[in-house]
């Protein structure tokens, strides 16, 4: 009889995003025969910050929130990464996301290291003024650790252009002059980049375009299932629909809708915007988020949250291409199962790297004070995503490994080379 304590420990480990990231890092490092000194330096973050954020609530009482910022690596340039607001934020999650950002930036070859931040709160239960006060105090606590040459935050889960504007203004007030390059994902009027809001979804489209060529498929004959309808899933589904793909399912937090003949995505998204739910949208079947993942399709794009595909359901995934729009939607324990099923995985550190790529473009534009037209941004994004897809595919073929392992190997190889060339100041 199985030991329930052992089983529980295994399950907890599998669902820990930092453990999943480290398992993949360790495998790639071993295959690269990474120098032990480089391994020791690269497997840990450069800095972990934990701050307490006192906020005067609208009721007049004081509440103290817990915030984190993890700066994982500076070998290739300033740290870069989003800030999320969620009651589920943990230091392990933030550490994993910071490391993923390091590898993501290296895969698409932009000169950033990885960082991530988060505040433990429920933003849906807070007023706009409470969110502003919390954001400004969080930014003030980080003032010595962020900046255009140090660490450049961006939006993430439950944060947006307004959040970035507050951080930029707070930082600028302390600096006594406007510093718009301190964050990316800002409103265009404050130095944001054209195309930034759609960048992650557009990058996802570009790599899916390349992947289906391997199966000799074309957009009109390709059935796509999208889990999630936010900044990645919703925009990605719209762009896929516009490109001629047959999007047969999409979901929000409460569940999904399915039509094997394809869904009118613009109409579905308008319905979601108007009613805040896909409920009562006509001509579709209702499915749960978990059942949606197991629908038969050509491309499955999990664009919601971590740990959606694990050892418990990987054998029931029925797609040809898995395009990971979310960060960490697949656990390390599921990788071998998917590989043995012959599923072509576009790993998250490549598939959703469109956002950080255009964030890099925004940072560049802010620093030179000259802004590009949206078509220029999109064209340069396509160049980067296609080149990076080809780099990962070639690396996988050369080393005889799956695409996720290849992406990690390529990223670690690049960061390791730069670390070795700079030397370790010790």
Catalytically annotated residues: 116
CA distance 203 to 191: 21
Q: How far apart are the first and last CA of the chain?
A: 51
CA distance 248 to 225: 6
Q: CA 385, 391, 397, 399 torsion: positive or negative?
A: negative
Structure tokens at 202: 């557009």
Q: CA 303, 304, 309, 315 torsion: positive or negative?
A: negative
Q: What angle do CA 62, 63, 68 make, to 5 degrees?
A: 140
Residues 6+ apart with CB under 8 A from 86: 118, 120, 121, 122, 123, 157, 158
CA distance 258 to 280: 13
CA distance 239 to 236: 5
List b or e across 102-122, with b for residues whose CB sees 16 or more CB atoms inside 10 angstroms.
Answer: bbbbbbbbbebbbbbbbbbbe
Please name which of 247, 400, 231 lies closest in space to residue 303, comparing C-alpha atoms: 231
């Amino acid at each position: 009889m199985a030991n329930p304590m052992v089983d529980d420990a295994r399950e907890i480990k599998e669902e820990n995003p930092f453990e999943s990231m480290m398992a993949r890092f360790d495998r790639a490092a071993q295959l690269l025969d990474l120098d032990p000194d480089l391994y020791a330096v690269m497997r840990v973050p450069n800095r972990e910050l934990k701050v307490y954020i006192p906020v005067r609530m609208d009721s007049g009482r004081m509440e103290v929130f817990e915030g984190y910022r993890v700066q994982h690596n500076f070998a290739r340039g300033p740290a870069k990464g989003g800030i999320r607001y969620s009651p589920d934020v943990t230091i392990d999650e933030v550490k994993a996301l910071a490391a993923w950002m390091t590898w993501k930036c290296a895969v698409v070859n932009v000169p950033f290291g990885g960082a991530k931040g988060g505040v433990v709160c429920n933003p849906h239960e807070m007023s706009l003024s409470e969110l502003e006060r919390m954001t400004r105090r969080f930014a003030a606590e980080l003032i010595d650790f962020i900046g255009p040459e140090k660490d450049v935050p961006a939006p993430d889960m439950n944060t947006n252009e307004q959040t970035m504007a507050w951080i930029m203004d707070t930082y600028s007030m302390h600096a006594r002059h406007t510093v718009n390059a301190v964050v990316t994902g800002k409103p265009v009027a404050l130095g944001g980049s054209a195309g930034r809001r759609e960048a992650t979804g557009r990058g996802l489209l570009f790599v899916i375009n390349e992947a289906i060529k391997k199966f000799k498929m074309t957009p009109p004959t390709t059935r796509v299932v999208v889990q999630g309808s936010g900044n990645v899933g919703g925009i990605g589904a719209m762009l896929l629909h516009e490109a001629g793909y047959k999007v047969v399912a999409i979901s929000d937090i409460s569940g999904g809708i399915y039509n094997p003949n394809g869904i009118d995505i613009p109409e579905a998204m308008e319905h979601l915007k108007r009613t805040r739910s896909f409920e009562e949208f006509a001509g579709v079947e209702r499915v749960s988020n978990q059942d949606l993942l197991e629908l038969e399709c050509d491309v499955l794009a999990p664009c919601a949250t971590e740990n959606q595909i694990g050892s418990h359901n990987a054998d029931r995934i029925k797609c040809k291409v898995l395009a990971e729009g979310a960060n960490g939607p697949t656990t390390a324990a599921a990788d071998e199962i998917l590989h043995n099923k012959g599923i072509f995985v576009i790993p998250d550190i490549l598939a959703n790297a469109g956002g950080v790529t255009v964030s890099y473009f925004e940072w560049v534009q802010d620093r030179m004070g000259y802004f590009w037209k949206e078509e220029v941004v999109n064209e340069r994004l396509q160049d980067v995503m296609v080149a990076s897809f080809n780099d990962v595919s070639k690396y996988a073929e050369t080393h005889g490994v799956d695409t996720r392992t290849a992406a990690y190997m390529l990223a670690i190889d690049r960061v390791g080379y730069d670390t070795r060339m700079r030397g370790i100041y010790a």
